[in-house]
Structure 1
Amino acid sequence: MSAALLDKKVVVVSGVGPGLGRSICLEAAAAGATVVLAARTESRLLEVAAEVEAIGGTALCVPADITDEAAVQNLVTRTVETFGRVDALVNNAFSMPSMKPLERTDYEQIRSSLDMTVLGGLRMTQAFTPALAEAKGSVVMINSMVLRHSEPRYGSYKLTKAALLAMSQTLATELGSKGVRVNSVLPGYIWTDQLKWYFGEIAGKYGITAEQVYAQTAAKSDLARLPEPAEVAKAVVFLASDWASAITGQTLDVNCGEYHN
């Protein structure tokens, strides 16, 4: 039954790239959904769309900058004109802010991150609300486990993601009367190519192996490993599906037990 969780549903995913966005598209398609892919880089969209189609799914690519009102409206128009409905919106797009301590952080990077991650997510949700209300659909915000700690240099990132969570909870309350659910997924470290590269850089800096960096990081979690992209994506699929029909305003941590909520 799990393979049909999103059968005949239309799912829009923003911020599609080679990492989590790709996995969300593939898992949604595997669950029966038609997937609309949105991001600024068209070549990435086409690559992921080809993978979706290779497993028998249907994909529509719409290059879009979610900080641009006209681009978002075009995304809505293309989606509704092509498929006639929208059942779920996954706001995955984000911009990484300054990784400096807050006492000497870069304000412009914070503004840019808030514009993309928070206001971009709001712009997308506002634009798709009429279609989502008609379908009694779902919004899933991709947040981060950065909310669960206060480690040095993550202050700007936590500020942005905390604002995203506050907005998501308020949207859940405001859109509930329309039958639209709004939830958040908080991944931990995700074992993607980008993280593998980063661990390699750390290993080189400290004269150890990337495997040792992984083991030291994973040891902090109950399962002693890091989540795979598909595992995070499956949590998104669940919240987007009718199996989560009574769940709204909630956060689902996917971090192999590194933090308990």
Structure 2
Amino acid sequence: MTRTNASLIGFSAVALWSLLALFTVASAPVPPLQLSALTFAIGGVLGLVWLWVRGDLKALRAVPLKAYVFGTLGLFGYHFLYFTALRLAPPAEAGLICYMWPLLIVVFSGLLPGETLRKGHILGAMLAFLGAGLIVAGGLSGVSGAITGYAIAFVAALTWAGYSLGSRRMKAVPTAAVAVYCLATAILSGVAHLATEITVWPGSSLGWLAILGLGLGPVGLAFYTWDIGVKGGDIQLLGTASYAAPLLSTLVLVVAGLASASLSLALAAALITGGAVLAARAGRQA
């Protein structure tokens, strides 16, 4: 597979993540860890079915245990920290801090073998980060304490950036292993849910459809396509393009009537697009 094709497949994960907020809202009142357990279970089964159809289940036996541990800790760790941060701190601000992971990917990817970090990558990532900030924090005034929540949100950003960059270094591990990552994450999320939350099931068919949609897309297929992208594509461009996720997510909410269009949204779109263009040009120069 060419670098360009791998990058395009990686971009599809960003598009799928744009549906995360809409489906999550529709899945209420299911608590976050229970939702994580259900959706990751669907994503894991999806992967196993795909492998069974292709006759590649045997590929899972060749994956070293340390790869399974790494992938599971990455998926479960990020989502556990993300949900915890949003409980302890104002969700919008905590979400913005969590979304520092694309910037961290772009900056630290320059340390990977065969990669070069250029000024365009850094400038593009910073412009895109400003655009994401306008979406998440637009219209907010004042930030209450919750320092612990903000610190956990930053650790979450480090966790996902580390998972993505680590996956890049583990190119020999097949994407098939993501199915096991998802199933293990579902089990850990289920245990954490039983220990900390009260079980609440969806109250309507729409809620169940939202959970199914999450498991098939943003918390399912997206992790497989992201794995292909970070292992074989332009990881610096992927990191910058990831800032489109909050933009696309907001546009989806606007279309669904759950958010309002605004001038700040248009400005955010310009910043994110400009940042991606700068990063893409820097990548071609490298």
TM-score normalised by structure 1 residue count? 0.28
Higher helix proportion, which one?
A: 2
Higher strand proportion, which one?
A: 1
